[in-house]
A = this chain, B = another copy of it.
Amino acid sequence: MLRADYPGQYCSIAKSLEVIGERWSLLIVRDILNGNRRFGELQSSLGIARNVLSSRLQRLIDEDILERRAYQESPPRYEYFLTEKGLDLWPALIALMNWGDRYSAGPEGAPRLIVHKECGGLVNERGICESCGETLHARDARQIAGPGWDAAVAGAAESSA
């Protein structure tokens, strides 16, 4: 997105989009949630331009969504972690993921599923465990390959061939 401000909106959706509505921002958050923490990992996983990744990371840090921690000095090397504010985007990501699953996934089904770490139950579009009924947060869940995973990979391989 450009400019990324929506003047005159008394609306928290607009406020949210000012912060994470730019292209790539939410995907970076998702990728870090999936365990990619380093610049190079993010860059190759997302296929994003390096300068854009650099500026998005900086913006997300400025917004207190990410935190940068050195994992070595000389040369300084960093990893990016989600703050609580960043982790709290999880329900929105889950909702978007489920919407994509419903309307954009192939006939095989969702490429990824979210499961409750504790009980292994599937997590629904509201971020609630279908098995134990608990309302979950980012740390309570993890991703696994879904029924449409193989098809999605095959499709991606085909389109890049």
Contacts and interface: CB of A to CB of B under 8 A. Distances in A.
Contacts of A26: 13, 17, 21
Interface in A14-29: 14-19, 21-23, 26-27
A102 interface: yes
Interface string A18-57: 1101110011001000000000000000110000000000
Q: Dominant SS at the A interface?
A: helix
A21 B111 CA distance: 19
B92 A95 contact: yes
Contacts of A19: 103-104
Interface residues of A, number: 58
Nearest to A143: B11
A74 to B, nearest CB: 34
Contact of A111 (B12, B94, B126): B12
A135 B95 CA distance: 14
A10 B153 contact: yes
Contacts of A9: 27, 46-47, 156
A125 B47 CA distance: 32
Nearest to A18: B104
